[in-house]
Amino acid sequence: MYTATTRAIRVTVRPQYLPDESDPSELRFVWAYHVRIENRGDDTVRLRSRHWKITDALGRLQEVRGPGVVGQTPVLRPGEVFEYTSGTPLSTSSGIMGGTYQMVSQAGDGFDIEIPTFSLDLPATQRSLN
């Protein structure tokens, strides 16, 4: 799991490779990622939009921007949690994802919170450090 906290809002991401939806012979590798957003602060906030940066193993960057997440713009009161699952395909067997959620406080102040950068790797992939 990967975790980041910004302004008392904790984002945790758990990626998972989906072999049944992938086809390596066609250069299609699919991952699901489960996101948990927890408001540990004192203010009520709303998630307005997202900005993802997805980089494949060849360094190709894809940016995804849009309103809300999975068709929702959830409101999180202090202590509340919102969870969702989504996915992404890659044409390489590994990559990384990260980004920001654009939030707004009850008072109308806009701010970004970090989505932790996480690794997309096949379960059997041996990792090496250069």
Cβ of 130: how many Cβ atoms within 10 Å?
A: 2
Confidence band for 126, pLDDT divided at 50, 70 and 90:
low
pLDDT at 26 over 80: yes
pTM: 0.91
pLDDT at 94 over 80: yes
Measured distance CA(122)–CA(11) in Å, rounded: 23
Measured distance CA(45)–CA(93) in Å, rounded: 36
**Domains along the chain with CATH numbers:** 2-120 (2.60.40.1470)
Pairing between β-strand 9-17 and β-strand 2-6 as defined by DSSP bridges: antiparallel
pLDDT at 130 over 50: no
Rounded mean pLDDT, 74-96:
97
Measured distance CA(42)–CA(87) in Å, rounded: 31
State phi, psi for 7 to the nearest 5 degrees. Answer: 50, 45
